[in-house]
Structure 1
Amino acid sequence: MASFGQSDRKHMTYTPAAGYHWLSPLYDFGVAALTREKRWRRALIAQIGPHPRDVILDVGCGTGSLLVLLAKAASSARLIGIDPDPAMLTRAQKKAEAAGVRAEYHLGLARQAVEILGAVKPTKIVSSLVLHQVSLEEKAASLAAMSSALGPGGEIHIADYGLQRTPLMRTLFRASIQNLDGRANTEPNAKGVLLELMRSAGFRQVEETLVIPTVSGSVSLYRGRR
């Protein structure tokens, strides 16, 4: 079963899933159709290597698809999701319950991770298709909060739009993601800013591990250690 805690977190600003609140119900379909979801999720789970004793925080968990997969890979792991959209958290809760998955869900922004978690120190933090949707300032604040939230030796694993290396990938990214989520927030990702931001947030052994071309631009996998 899933537990769903909503703290009083007013004045939160964020780009909704799929770019607009009215498109959010189509988010899962869009991710599947535009991002080669099965490919990068499978690779991300393998990279995370979930262990039964892990405490895993999913920042910007959306509809909870990744947490369900993590639970199936390590059913005894403690799973926690954070997202600023109450509607998405409700969908995540229902998805977890339907799958028989135990998870905890909290309303909040990535930059509020330490406040939300309190004394809990995750062993691993994951984030997928989130950082391209927020401003450069928010990307930096989010990664800094994730770094502070992790326990010593903890790991961060990210799947997101990264450096768009070829003319084709740049064109597809502009035609799809930048039309939905706006150019200002997404352009730093397209220029490859995430590696630098991860290092600046205090992560070490930072690397891009995989680049997957899709019809909406290339999705990259990253990892680092606290």
Structure 2
Amino acid sequence: MTERDYLPAMGRHSLLFLYDPCTRLAGVGRLHDELLDRAAVRPGHRVLEIGCGTGNLVLRLARRTPGAEVLGTDPDPAALRRGRRKAARRGLPVSFELAFADDLPVPDASVDRVLSSYMLHHLDGPDKPRAMEEIRRVLRPGGELHLVDAHSTGGRAHPRLADNAPDRIVGLMRDAGLDAAENGRGHRRGALGHYVFYRGSSTGHG
């Protein structure tokens, strides 16, 4: 993987040690459970998470669905090391690989589910369409992207959230060739602010 800049999980590399306690306090586990309920992963599915951080979502998935092949990717080697240690301690068969969302380390049409949790707003504007195109590339026909992310409700939003409006995300998914929609009960609010669930499906590769 070529060396590139990226926004780490807590905004600064030095704050990575706070990532797991902060996500626990924010109740992110409940949000992950809902995302996994929506993804409906089955044994035998190959699942990839983009921007997995320290691995909380993929470890939860491996515990819930034995027999799924689970891979977490992230550009932060320190976060991946933490994820590998947690997987080893818990005896969970999760793989972790260093990768950016627009350059995934898997073949074309080889993944049944792509997951993304609070990652998309970390990407700069031009990187988002490339990431969606890469997701489309790796999904098998009938495969699905399940994504949850923050969004702005107006006012003086952070620039990363201003570019993360629901219409924008759905448009990016559709431009990449995914059948896409918001899903769930609309815009919701939690400890991390307003968020939306999205689903995109691949109808084939041509």
Common fold by TM > 0.5: yes
Partner of residue 45, structure 1: 36
How many Å separate the matches in 2 of 1:191 and 1:69?
26
Deviations, residues 65-99 of structure 1 (Å, cap 9, x unaligned)? 11111111211110111100000000010111122
**SS of alignment partner, residue 53 of structure 1:** coil
Partner residue in 2 for 1:96 = 87
Structure-to-structure mapping, 1:139-218, within 5 angstroms: 139-162=128-151, 164-165=152-153, 174=157, 183-190=158-165, 192-210=167-185, 211-218=187-194
**In 2, are the aligned partners of 1:135 and 1:184 still within 8 Å (CA)?**
no
Aligned residue pairs: how many?
A: 201
Aligned equivalent of 2:5: 13
Identify which range, 24-33 or 97-106, moves more after superposition. Answer: 24-33
Distance, in Å, in 1 between the alignment partners of 2:51 and 2:90 is: 20
Aligned to 1:73, which of 45, 56, 64? 64
Over the matched positions of the two proteins, sequence identity in percent amounts to: 29
Q: Structure 1 residue 30 and structure 2 residue 10: aligned?
A: no
Q: CA deviation at 1:33?
A: 3.1
Task: Encode CA deviations 1:186-219: one digit per residue, 9 max, x unaligned.
Answer: 3211464211111111110423324331233212
- State yes or no: 1:124 paired with 2:96: no
Which of the two has greater strand per residue? 2
Cα separation, partners in 2 of 1:49 and 1:191, compared to 1, 3 Å: closer
Given the superposition, is the C-alpha separation of residues 191 and 46 from structure 1 closer, same or farther in structure 2, using an over 3 Å criterion? Answer: closer
Q: In the TM superposition, what is the alpha-carbon distance from 1:127 to its structure 2 partner?
A: 0.8
* Structure 1 segments unaligned to the other structure (5+ residues): 1-8, 175-182
| 2:33 matches 1:57 | no
Aligned to 1:133: 122
Query: Given the two structures, how large is their TM-score scaled by the length of structure 2?
Result: 0.90
Higher helix share: 1
Give runs of ≥4 in structure 1 deviating > 6 Å.
none
1:111 maps onto 2:87 in alignment:
no
**How far apart, CA to CA, are the structure 2 residues paired with 1:140 and 1:57?**
18
CA–CA separation in structure 2 for the residues paired with 1:118 and 1:147:
12
| Larger RCO of the pair (alpha carbons < 8 Å, separation 6+) | 1
1:89 partner SS: helix
